[in-house]
Amino acid sequence: MNSYRPLNEQTAIDYLRACEPAHALLRPDEPLTCREVGDGNLNLIFIVSSEAEPARSLVIKQALPYVRLIGESWPLTQDRARIEAQALAIHERLCPELVPHSYHYDAPMCLTVMENLLPAIIMRKGLIRRTRYPRFSAHIGEFLAQTLFSTSDLFLDSATKKDEVARFINKELCKLTEDVIFTQPYIAGHPMNKHNPLIDARAAQLRADRVLLRELRWLKWAFMTRAEALIHGDLHTGSIMVTETSTKIIDPEFAYYGPMGFDVGAVIGNLLLSYCSHLAHTPDPTERAEYQGYLTATVAEVWNTFERRFLELWRAADAEAPEEFRQAFLRGLLQDTAGFAAAKMIRRILGVAHVEDLESIADPAERARAEIWALDIATPLMLRRGELSMIDELVALARSVPAPA
Amino acid sequence: MNSYRPLNEQTAIDYLRACEPAHALLRPDEPLTCREVGDGNLNLIFIVSSEAEPARSLVIKQALPYVRLIGESWPLTQDRARIEAQALAIHERLCPELVPHSYHYDAPMCLTVMENLLPAIIMRKGLIRRTRYPRFSAHIGEFLAQTLFSTSDLFLDSATKKDEVARFINKELCKLTEDVIFTQPYIAGHPMNKHNPLIDARAAQLRADRVLLRELRWLKWAFMTRAEALIHGDLHTGSIMVTETSTKIIDPEFAYYGPMGFDVGAVIGNLLLSYCSHLAHTPDPTERAEYQGYLTATVAEVWNTFERRFLELWRAADAEAPEEFRQAFLRGLLQDTAGFAAAKMIRRILGVAHVEDLESIADPAERARAEIWALDIATPLMLRRGELSMIDELVALARSVPAPA
């Protein structure tokens, strides 16, 4: 285990046989099978199962030294494996029920052995199928409140927080976000971008909106300068695994000290992308309206749970802070949330990395309608976020935007 | 030179005789004299001069492992000597004319050998005597623009800036600022506080102002979370040495990545403290009005020079940024500046560390009038800073507050 080597399906089994913490679940002498299932952009993911009892299984997540989607020509720091392991450890301490249990972190090998979250699925896929997750709002609201409050200056002592800022400096993955969310999508003709040709005119219009470009710079500046809390950094619905009763937040390799609203905005922006996608996925108007109503109610419940728990934690930790400050703080955070939600919606339509919610709409014209709707909702969310003081206003603003003809 | 020992007037001479970079100015074989002149709170300051030619002299600044003002019972990190030396090096690279030249930094000894700034004096003392500094606005505006712009994400590449954030984490000195500027002054009866008993009622009123307490929390939050630029961190008029033609910024041991407005606000807040102090120092109404007019014109010129140079540097470095963003950015920075200026004025009257501008007013009743005036000006500066979009409005707001009867 002393130097890095990428595993394959055979060496992954050998690795686990030699990994003592894994023996709690998989005995070294029993027959094991392994599949590599990584469909993300950056890592190898092995599922190693007992041949006799396939439900007994573990995941090995190993960082490759390059972006898998692109190849060895785009090297990427393996320090992200350390960041992810350390962030996961904090998340597990704060919310043990809401993240996969980690069995072992191997620094030289850049890998973590963790719980296999059977039978959970990636939330994004469930939303496409109109699945409802009755526990999701409560779970994600708790996760956001615990992880953002407990890693911030509102809770940690001043020196500990600064040590944590230094420990979680995450240069390369932050640069990736700065580029693919806040920069490239707004540059016409940037080679990393792609978009549906049918929305060319809307894309050009958005990229010429100087007020939007100004607000986008503010959000990028906030992302780069505001060390408020250890944020997950990539909290879209592809980083959340769900069943109807459980929610597990995975993949915090983008974690760093950043603005709290970036995480809350990621959740809400991705719920709104799903909302737009059902213009195509759900042709029946009644069924569509019902599911879209579920999604926007979920947006409100996520925020309300988050806000309530955040305030509870804060009041318990610091009875002295003026209530006027708490209220102003949460209002500012709601406005940040709206801005980052909007930026995350736009980049999924105009930037390099798209989402299955929209990409799975086969007909380009149908897809264009959903995409334009998302841009039409994102624009006022970003530009009018300074007017928002309650989540219901954010939801009403999104709902007031008509679907394109 | 391998382990720390505090110098005295004799060993300081021995040290310089053995310090090769110092030989450019002081020959090892010539007779030297030394005086320890530190009147600050934290360090030893030795001036070592040629006996034959006393104008040939050098300063040795050595960090003690405790707060000098209090004694060994209040230990303080000597890492501040590293921070100061590294910040000075950056300042000298960016503004060689505006800081003392450093000859030598000795890490184990926690000392820097630097230029002796004869015949410059501490600016605060000159302002008490109504001296005018015709080059000051241009110099400090240039210093602020260069140091804040060139160390920020507006200029540095993303990775370099994050390395700099880590290098300049300054836990103990930031904690000191958090306590003595943003926390203790607002706690009635805190043992570190002191104030003129004649302003008891005004102090109690200020500490009961819940809107002010809310805004104060915002400013503290900004100080703790916003890693915008390598700020000086203690840029009051006691950290500026002046002649009528030169300006030198010293003592950046509080440097860390923080909000730009904290430095600009320190300069402006201290000019406004001087403005209030002349209510007592300058009894002649015409003379007083003239000098106060000079001070508020200086506030405007400092900002205007800073803003002009900041925008020049920015446009040269990044032609792509929308002008709308630049304007909004500078407006936000002006508002931050007003808030931090106000916080710095208040703490000099209600907190642990006062300023000579006010303390040198012998008559307690006269001093109380000047102090109350400063609190009366600071309060709307903090509370109404969100309305400000031009420096003339900040100046007009300050000037609109009448001196107490």
Q: For an interface test with A, give the residue of B156, B158, B212 to mutate (most A CBs within 10 A).
A: B158
Looking at the structure, tell me whether residues A27 and A170 fall in a common domain: no
Looking at the structure, tell me whether residues B354 and B274 fall in a common domain: yes
Query: If you search the block for the tokens 């300049």, which residue do you land on?
Result: B168
**Backbone dihedral region of B384: left (phi > 0), alpha (psi from -120 to 50 degrees) or beta?**
alpha
The one-letter amino acid code at A124 reads R
Looking at the structure, tell me whether residues A111 and A145 fall in a common domain: no
Q: What is the ipTM score, two decimals?
A: 0.96
Looking at the structure, tell me whether residues B111 and B142 fall in a common domain: no
CB contact under 8 A, A158 and B178: yes
Q: For an interface test with A, give the residue of B214, B216, B219 to mutate (most A CBs within 10 A).
A: B214
Looking at the structure, tell me whether residues A102 and A242 fall in a common domain: no
Query: Rounded to whole angstroms, how far apart are CA atoms A326 and A117?
Result: 37
Q: Indicate the residue of B153, B161, B225 with minimum beta-carbon distance to A153.
A: B225
Give the domain-ending residue among A57, A87, A115: A115
The shortest C-alpha distance from B324 to chain A (Å) reads 6
Domain total for chain A? Answer: 2
CATH number at residue B33: 3.30.200.20
Q: Show the beta-strand stretches assigned E in A311-364.
A: none
Query: Rounded to whole angstroms, how far apart are CA atoms A20 and A17?
Result: 8
What is the phi/psi pair of residue B241, to 5°? -110, 135
Query: Rounded to whole angstroms, how far apart are CA atoms A70 and A75?
Result: 9
Looking at the structure, tell me whether residues B192 and B318 fall in a common domain: yes
The ranges of chain B with pLDDT < 50 are 1
Looking at the structure, tell me whether residues A166 and A302 fall in a common domain: yes
Domain-located, residue A404: no
Query: Rounded to whole angstroms, how far apart are CA atoms B14 and B5?
Result: 13
Looking at the structure, tell me whether residues A276 and A350 fall in a common domain: yes
Q: Which residues of A touch B175 (CB under 8 A)?
A: 158-159
> How many C-beta neighbours within 10 Å does residue B246 have?
16
Query: pLDDT value at position A72?
Result: 77
Domain-located, residue B2: no
Query: pLDDT value at position B348?
Result: 98
Query: pLDDT value at position A220?
Result: 98
Query: pLDDT value at position A40?
Result: 66
Give the domain-ending residue among A81, A115, A149: A115
DSSP B28: T
Domain-located, residue A4: no
Q: Indicate the residue of B163, B165, B322 with minimum beta-carbon distance to A217.
A: B322
Query: pLDDT value at position A269?
Result: 98
Q: How many alpha carbons fall within 13 Å on the CB side of residue A175? A: 14
Chain B residues at the A interface, defined by Cβ less than 8 Å, are 153, 158-159, 161-163, 165-166, 169, 171-172, 174-175, 178, 210-211, 213-214, 217-218, 221, 224-228, 321-322, 324-325, 328-329
Looking at the structure, tell me whether residues A368 and A274 fall in a common domain: yes
**Looking at the DSSP assignment, which residues form a beta bridge with residue B249?**
B240
DSSP string, B271-285: HHHHHHHHHHH--SH
Domain-located, residue B3: no
What is the phi/psi pair of residue B276, to 5°? -70, -35
CATH number at residue B327: 3.90.1200.10
A4, A110 Cβ separation under 8 angstroms: yes
Domain-located, residue A215: yes
Looking at the structure, tell me whether residues A110 and A152 fall in a common domain: no
CB contact under 8 A, A165 and B162: no
Structure tokens that stand for A227 in this block: 């060390």
Give the domain-ending residue among A115, A141, A158: A115
Per-residue pLDDT tens over the stretch A34-88: 999 987 667 999 999 999 999 999 999 999 887 776 777 777 888 999 999 999 9
Domain that holds residue B289: 121-399
Domain-located, residue B344: yes
Q: Show the beta-strand stretches assigned E in A129-269.
A: 229-231, 240-242, 247-249, 256-258
Domain-located, residue A95: yes
Looking at the structure, tell me whether residues A49 and A78 fall in a common domain: yes
Query: pLDDT value at position A42?
Result: 79
Burial label, A332 (beta-carbon count in 10 A; 0-12, 13-18, 19+): middle
Distance set, CA A96 to CA A60, A192, B154 (Å): 19, 38, 40
Domain-located, residue B405: no
The ranges of chain A with pLDDT < 50 are 1
Structure tokens that stand for B201 in this block: 């009622």
Query: Rounded to whole angstroms, how far apart are CA atoms A286 and A282?
Result: 9
Looking at the structure, tell me whether residues A20 and A92 fall in a common domain: yes
Q: What length is written for chain A?
A: 405
Distance set, CA B405 to CA A354, B287, B358, B360, B377 (Å): 67, 19, 18, 21, 15
What is the pTM (predicted TM-score) of this model?
Answer: 0.96
The shortest C-alpha distance from A206 to chain B (Å) reads 14
Query: Rounded to whole angstroms, how far apart are CA atoms B199 and B207?
Result: 12
